[in-house]
Structure 1
Amino acid sequence: MRNKIVADNSTQLSEWLKEQVVAFNQSQWPVQRQELGFSINNEDAQRIGGISGRWFGNWLLIDWLWVNPEDRGQGYASELLSKLESHAKELGANKAVLDTLEFQAPEFYRRHGYEEVFVLENYPLTGRRSYMCKEL
């Protein structure tokens, strides 16, 4: 009997594939990996922003940074980024990497020492996706 390929656009498939690839990668690179994150809560204990990423050997991999629009302009994003970088350095990271879209925050990251190392033009159609790195 031959196996069949079937359409599967489910989140479950995506999650399963990620688990399989991560497990395989860990078997090849026995490097410690740790989820990292910080959030900002208002006086009502409601989350208004946060940052998350992963420490992976020499690298801080930054995944998400968000501050609610009404709470921007108060330095929260800079504080979050600095906290995450410092924590990753304490764990042994000496480099950081992230990606950002042209309408998101490339200038913010440049002001914090990140340099563009790769760009996808016309992403997904007419935009620009920048991959940026920084020595910590």
Structure 2
Amino acid sequence: MTAWTIIDAPQEEVRSGELGRRLRRFNYGVVGEYPDSQPVWLSARDPDDRMVGGLRGYVFLYWLHIDVLWVDETLRAAGLGSELLAQAEAKAKALGAHSAKLDTFEWQARDFYAKRGYREFGRIDDHTDGYYLAFMMKKL
């Protein structure tokens, strides 16, 4: 019988230490060597330097992963969200991404993304308080 101990892994070990190296070595054996994750972070500010929108994502394995896209309520439907998304997609393409993916709750921006070419490829019904979580993707 094998015995082991499981502990919380320090961030350094996961990202660039032994665990990260071993995972990359395994992945490289399947898909070849690929670049490190590249951040795609955008911030929109008004003339008074107040944040009015932003996007947080990253490119990994040639995909743009969008974590957060937020636009201040007073500027929704003014084109800022579309501009943030377009700039993130352009930056991701320059970093080698061929596609983008994200998830969004039904009360958030599913229709916004659909109008910009994203298609739903899956969902989790009743994820939170009866609302579904949609998974969406787009070829860049």
Q: Does 1:28 align with 2:23?
A: yes
RMSD: 2.3
Report the alpha carbon displacement of residue 28 of structure 1 after superposing the two structures with TM.
2.2
Aligned to 2:61: 57
TM-score by length of 2: 0.79
- The answer to whether the aligner puts 1:128 opposite 2:132 as a matched pair is yes
Question: What TM-score do the two structures reach when normalised by structure 1?
Answer: 0.81
Distance 1:128 1:19 in 2: 35
Query: Using a 3 Å threshold, how does the CA distance of structure 1 residues 18 and 65 change in structure 2: closer, same or farther?
Result: farther
Which ranges of structure 2 fall in alignment gaps of 5 or more residues? 25-32
For this pair of structures, how many residues does the alignment match? Answer: 126
Contact residue 121 and residue 136 of structure 2 kept, 8 A: yes
What is the distance in 2 between the residues matched to 1:54 and 1:4?
Answer: 29
Q: 5 Å matches for 1:1-136? A: 20-23=13-16, 24-25=19-20, 27-29=22-24, 31=34, 32-136=36-140
Query: Larger deviation: 93-102 or 17-26?
Result: 17-26
SS of residue matched to 2:111: helix
Identify if the C-alpha distance between structure 1 residues 104 and 59 changes in structure 2 by more than 3 Å, giving closer, same or farther: same
- Partner Cα separation in structure 1 for residue 11 and residue 132 of structure 2: 26
One-letter code aligned to 1:108: F
* Residues 110 and 26 (structure 1), Cα distance of their counterparts in 2 relative to 1, 3 Å cut: farther
Residue 57 of structure 1 and its aligned partner are, at CA, apart by 2.4
Mean CA deviation greater in 78-87 or 38-47? 38-47
Q: Percent identity?
A: 35
Three-state SS of the structure 1 residue aligned to 2:82 is helix
Q: Aligned equivalents of 2:72 and 2:11: distance in 1?
A: 29
Query: Does structure 1 conserve the Cα–Cα contact (< 8 Å) formed by 2:38 and 2:95?
Result: no
Identify unmatched segments of 5+ residues in structure 1: 6-12
Counterpart-to-counterpart distance in 1, 2:102 and 2:127: 16
SS in structure 1 at match of 2:83: helix
Question: Which amino acid in the other structure matches residue 28 of structure 1?
Answer: L
